[in-house]
């Protein structure tokens, strides 16, 4: 029987186990440059089969929060190089998550102080995080976006392509395209945020067009075996809304079967919340989603996420519902999560007050089992 601790070849990624660290925004990259402490943070967690970085902006336009990192300027790439070197030295594997926030942004973060961009000029009922005049983090409503002109879309696809190339140059093992949680690609997918009447709006095929073009560009640039994608079929995060996610996401995964990707990463339910959350009248059928992918010829590893503990994760693997499981908050609080799961050891509790922003506290100082034992003996 497959266990969490068995290795896996996912596309071109050779993983030591089935435990992934989920992408986790931490807002500790001043000026959008990954800090030195970020190399330590990821290296501490390198026993994960795969580390997925926090969401990382592909362009300044794609930036939606203060102190989140980018992948478009030389000093950002140099910062990431420190991270990938540290993780590889510790024996780990790491991919970066390519991110364009679309309308989940604020004018103060945008080039020239302009409006954030979106499929349609509809303001999200959501918040973003900026620095106030004293440099303190504050959550504020997202700014009103402007609708992207048709002529601008090739430039956005090109930004994804450039970022994928930059990721490889910075030493990453691959990339995960962020198509989840109500950000730009997800905004195009869902009818709640996409009211376009051109080839990128209306039908499911049209709403998925940007996603397909991004995947085509990124896979052509670095090879499909180093490319993954994250989707969140029913999440309400960032005002994501669609009355009929089942046919929409079955179409999306059938399209994804075109490429021999590393993995498909599915957030089940509300991101960071209820696993049984639903949009529309019927519960989402995740088995049918995977069946749609397989029926279309898809062979990539299937990664699941949201509220998994060891028992749920082992059941998902044993029943063939997943090949990989991503853990989020548990990985923030437990750098040696793999060891702890294997030993059946208790987990450190997380401190949500240090999730976003700050320095080493709540970032580098969660003890491993061995460190906790030393502390207990002292
Ligand atoms: C929490 C805070 C800010 C951003 C996501 C990138 O939900 C995020 C995010 C999460 O995917």
Instruction: Write out pLDDT tens, residues 207-249.
Output: 999 999 999 999 999 999 999 999 999 999 999 999 999 999 9
Among candidate residues 12, 15, 11, the one with its CA nearest the CA of residue 326: 15
Confidence band, pLDDT 50/70/90 cuts, at residue 360? very high
Whether the CB of 53 sits within 6 Å of ligand 1: no
Is the pLDDT at 138 greater than 90? The verdict is no
Whether the CB of 55 sits within 6 Å of ligand 1: yes
Domain range spanning residue 236?
Answer: 8-377
In a mutational test of the pocket of ligand 1, which residue from 24, 25, 267 has the highest number of ligand atoms less than 8 Å from its CB?
A: 25
Ligand 1 atom with the smallest distance to the CA of 97 is 6
Residue nearest to atom 11 of ligand 1 (CA): 181
Task: Tell me if 127 is assigned to some domain.
Answer: yes
Number of domains in the chain: 1
Q: Which helix (H) or strand (E) holds 160?
A: helix 153-169
Is the pLDDT at 251 greater than 90? The verdict is yes
Measured from the Cβ of residue 85, the count of other Cβ atoms closer than 10 Å reads 14
Task: Tell me if 24 is assigned to some domain.
Answer: yes
Measured from the Cβ of residue 361, the count of other Cβ atoms closer than 10 Å reads 10
Whether the CB of 65 sits within 6 Å of ligand 1: yes
pTM of the model: 0.98
Confidence (pLDDT) at 46: 98
Confidence band, pLDDT 50/70/90 cuts, at residue 376? confident
Distance from chain centroid for Cα 227? 12
The pairing of beta strand 8-10 with beta strand 13-15: antiparallel
CB 237 within 8 A of CB 186: no
**DSSP codes joined into one string, 223-239:** -GGGEEEEE-TT--GGG
Whether the CB of 271 sits within 6 Å of ligand 1: yes
Confidence (pLDDT) at 69: 98
Confidence band, pLDDT 50/70/90 cuts, at residue 318? very high
In a mutational test of the pocket of ligand 1, which residue from 69, 124, 181 has the highest number of ligand atoms less than 8 Å from its CB?
A: 181
Taking the centre of ligand 1 as the mean of its atom positions, its distance from the CA of residue 107, in whole angstroms, is 18
Phi-psi map region of 345: left, alpha, beta (phi>0 left; psi -120 to 50 alpha): beta
Task: Tell me if 224 is assigned to some domain.
Answer: yes
Confidence band, pLDDT 50/70/90 cuts, at residue 127? very high
In DSSP terms, which residues pair with 130 in a beta bridge?
Answer: 138
Whether the CB of 128 sits within 6 Å of ligand 1: no
How confident is the model over 268-283, as pLDDT tens digits?
999 999 999 999 889 9
Whether the CB of 237 sits within 6 Å of ligand 1: yes
Structure tokens at 290: 């995977």
Domain containing residue 194: CATH number? 3.20.20.70
How confident is the model over 68-100, as pLDDT tens digits?
999 999 999 999 999 999 999 999 999 999 999
List 129, 183, 200, 251, catalytic entry: 183
Q: Could you confirm whether 183 is annotated as catalytic?
A: yes
Residues 6 or more apart in contact with residue 112 via CB below 8 angstroms: none
Task: Tell me if 193 is assigned to some domain.
Answer: yes
Task: Tell me if 239 is assigned to some domain.
Answer: yes
Cα gap 255→269, rounded to integer Å: 22
Residue 184 backbone dihedrals phi, psi, to 5 degrees: -50, -50
Taking the centre of ligand 1 as the mean of its atom positions, its distance from the CA of residue 373, in whole angstroms, is 33
How confident is the model over 3-45, as pLDDT tens digits?
999 999 999 999 999 999 999 999 999 999 999 999 999 999 9
Task: Tell me if 260 is assigned to some domain.
Answer: yes
Task: Tell me if 3 is assigned to some domain.
Answer: no
Task: Tell me if 2 is assigned to some domain.
Answer: no
């Amino acid at each position: 029987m497959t266990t969490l601790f068995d290795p896996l070849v996912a596309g071109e990624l050779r993983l030591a186990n089935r435990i992934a660290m989920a992408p986790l925004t931490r807002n500790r990259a001043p000026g959008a440059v990954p800090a030195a402490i970020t190399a330590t943070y990821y290296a501490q967690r390198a026993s994960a089969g795969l580390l997925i970085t926090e969401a990382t902006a592909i362009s300044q336009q794609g930036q939606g929060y203060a102190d989140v990192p980018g992948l478009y300027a030389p000093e950002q790439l140099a910062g990431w190089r420190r991270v990938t070197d540290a993780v590889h030295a510790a024996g780990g594997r790491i991919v970066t998550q390519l991110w364009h926030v679309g309308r989940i942004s604020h004018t103060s973060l945008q080039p020239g102080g302009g409006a954030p961009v979106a499929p349609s000029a509809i303001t999200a009922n959501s918040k973003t995080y900026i620095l106030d005049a004293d440099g303190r983090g504050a959550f504020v409503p997202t700014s009103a976006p402007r609708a992207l002109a048709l002529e601008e879309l090739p430039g956005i696809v090109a930004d994804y392509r450039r970022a994928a190339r930059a990721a490889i140059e910075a030493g990453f093992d691959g990339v995960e395209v962020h198509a989840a949680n109500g950000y730009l690609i997800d905004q195009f997918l869902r009818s709640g945020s996409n009211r376009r009447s051109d080839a990128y709006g209306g039908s499911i095929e049209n709403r998925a067009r940007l996603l397909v073009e991004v995947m085509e560009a990124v896979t052509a640039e670095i090879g499909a075996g180093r490319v993954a994608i994250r989707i969140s079929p029913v999440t309400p995060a960032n005002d994501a809304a669609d009355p009929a996610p089942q046919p929409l996401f079955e179409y999306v995964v059938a399209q994804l079967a075109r490429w021999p990707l590393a993995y498909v990463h599915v957030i089940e339910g509300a991101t960071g919340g209820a696993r049984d959350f639903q949009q529309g009248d019927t519960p989402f059928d995740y088995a049918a989603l995977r069946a749609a992918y397989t029926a279309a010829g898809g062979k990539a590893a299937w990664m699941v996420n949201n509220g998994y503990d060891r028992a749920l994760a082992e059941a998902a693997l044993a029943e063939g519902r997943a090949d990989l499981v991503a853990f989020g908050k548990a990985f923030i609080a437990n750098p040696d999560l793999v060891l702890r799961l294997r030993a059946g050891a208790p987990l450190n509790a997380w401190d949500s007050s240090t999730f976003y922003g700050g320095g080493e506290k709540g970032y580098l100082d969660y003890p491993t089992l061995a460190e906790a034992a030393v502390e207990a003996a002292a």
